[in-house]
């Protein structure tokens, strides 16, 4: 377990190095018009989260609930067998699916998750753009059922961190479909769909390691050759300022709260889906604009341990 913790501690420098190699290859060898400003914005986001936010603002809204669940757990599950480890891995991915789905459907959680979708490119540097408010917003509350059932918080969040580390390679546009693996695992093709703002793809493929939960719960869509992905938010964010990236959706939610005329409107601004609301006075904030009906509210995903714990 200690070795896994150390591996996660060194994961960020490694993934940044790999993303940098990809950037150099795409820009110099493939001669693509690589967006270096977006690359450095993602880098600033990751370094700010790891070395500033996690040091000086490490509080978590979910921490009291996690502690309560562990103190009143139903069982204690020892991780001394392969079957227990497998259950832990599958269980965390199941609850990650619901965390990720809620991060697109509940505006409070979307305000943090929108950062991950704010880049208009799809490459490995986008994988570690998570913003600075995930822990503070209480994203870890989605793992409380596992802790209440008897899995210790440490292993649960280590498993979640490993699940997010798995997703790093999914942010590669140049990796093709992978045959039969597409039916079981989350792959770059499935994750390209998740990051696309096209109406055909919006709010789909929430899986972490596995894609089976999307297939079970009706949120799976396959990438189509005739519908190229347009990445980013429904209303694109063109700023590369890491502060604006981190807080633009929180600011939009605050503006909508200010315009609200009743406590019901204010409540729906926080727990309702992202997207325009016809019951709020004044014009809607562009950063959260989306079609008003159906499953295509949103949007403006993730993924390190610090983003969910």
Instruction: Supply φ then ψ for residue 185, to 5 degrees.
Output: -100, 155
Q: What is the mean pLDDT of residues 16-42?
A: 96
43 C-beta neighbours (distance < 10 Å), count: 17
Whether residue 265 lies inside any domain: the answer is no
The yes-or-no verdict on residue 151 having pLDDT over 90 is yes
| Cα 41 to the center of its chain, rounded Å | 17
- Residue 104 belongs to domain spanning: 2-238+296-308
157 C-beta neighbours (distance < 10 Å), count: 21
Helices 153-166 and 11-24 cross at an angle (nearest 10°) of 10
Six-digit token string for 110? 């979307």
Q: What is the mean pLDDT of residues 28-57?
A: 90
pTM: 0.88
Q: What is the mean pLDDT of residues 41-49?
A: 95
What was the pLDDT predicted at 305?
35
What was the pLDDT predicted at 60?
84
Q: In 56-140, which ranges are E strands?
A: none
The yes-or-no verdict on residue 52 having pLDDT over 50 is yes
Whether residue 181 lies inside any domain: the answer is yes
What was the pLDDT predicted at 165?
95
Whether residue 261 lies inside any domain: the answer is no
Whether residue 122 lies inside any domain: the answer is yes
Whether residue 283 lies inside any domain: the answer is no
What was the pLDDT predicted at 51?
84
Domain count, the chain: 1
Confidence of residue 190 (pLDDT cuts 50, 70, 90): very high
The yes-or-no verdict on residue 1 having pLDDT over 80 is no
The yes-or-no verdict on residue 4 having pLDDT over 90 is no
The yes-or-no verdict on residue 6 having pLDDT over 90 is no
The string of pLDDT tens digits covering residues 66-118 is 999 999 999 999 999 999 999 999 999 999 999 999 999 999 999 999 999 99
Confidence of residue 59 (pLDDT cuts 50, 70, 90): confident
Q: Give CA separation, 14 vs 58, 132, 188, 239, 247, in Å.
A: 23, 20, 19, 26, 27
The string of pLDDT tens digits covering residues 251-309 is 999 999 999 999 999 999 999 999 765 555 554 444 443 443 333 344 443 333 334 44
Angle ∠(291,292,297) on CA atoms, nearest 5: 65
Whether residue 12 lies inside any domain: the answer is yes
The yes-or-no verdict on residue 36 having pLDDT over 70 is yes
Whether residue 221 lies inside any domain: the answer is yes
The yes-or-no verdict on residue 129 having pLDDT over 60 is yes
Q: What is the mean pLDDT of residues 151-180?
A: 96
Whether residue 267 lies inside any domain: the answer is no
Answer whether the bond into residue 275 is a cis peptide, omega within 30°: no
The string of pLDDT tens digits covering residues 208-250 is 999 999 999 999 999 999 999 999 999 999 999 999 999 999 9
């Amino acid at each position: 377990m200690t070795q896994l913790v150390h591996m996660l501690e060194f994961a960020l420098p490694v993934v940044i190095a790999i993303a940098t190699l990809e950037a150099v290859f795409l820009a110099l060898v493939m001669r693509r018009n690589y967006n270096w400003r977006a690359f450095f914005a993602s880098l600033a986001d990751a370094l700010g989260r790891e070395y500033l936010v996690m040091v000086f603002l490490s509080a978590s809204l979910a921490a009291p609930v996690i502690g309560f669940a562990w103190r009143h757990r139903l069982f204690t599950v020892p991780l001394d067998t392969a079957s227990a480890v497998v259950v832990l891995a599958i269980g965390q991915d199941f609850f990650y699916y619901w965390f990720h789905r809620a991060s697109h459907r509940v505006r409070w959680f979307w305000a943090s998750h929108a950062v991950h979708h704010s880049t208009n490119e799809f490459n490995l540097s986008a994988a570690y753009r998570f913003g600075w408010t995930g822990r503070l917003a209480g994203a870890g509350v989605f793992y409380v059922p596992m802790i209440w059932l008897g899995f210790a918080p440490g292993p649960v969040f280590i498993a979640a961190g490993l699940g997010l580390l798995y997703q790093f390679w999914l942010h590669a546009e140049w990796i093709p479909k992978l045959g039969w693996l597409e039916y079981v695992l989350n792959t770059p093709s499935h994750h390209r769909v998740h990051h696309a703002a096209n109406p055909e793809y919006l709010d789909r493929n929430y899986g972490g390691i596995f894609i089976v939960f999307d297939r079970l719960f009706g949120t799976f869509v396959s990438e189509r050759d005739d519908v190229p992905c347009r990445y980013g938010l429904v209303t694109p964010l063109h700023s590369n300022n890491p502060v604006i990236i981190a807080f633009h959706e929180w600011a939009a939610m605050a503006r909508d709260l200010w315009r609200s005329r009743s406590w019901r409107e204010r409540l729906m601004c926080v727990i309702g889906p992202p997207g325009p609301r016809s019951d709020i006075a004044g014009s809607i904030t562009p950063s959260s604009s989306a079609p008003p009906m159906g499953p295509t509210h949103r949007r403006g995903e993730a993924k390190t341990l610090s983003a969910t714990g």
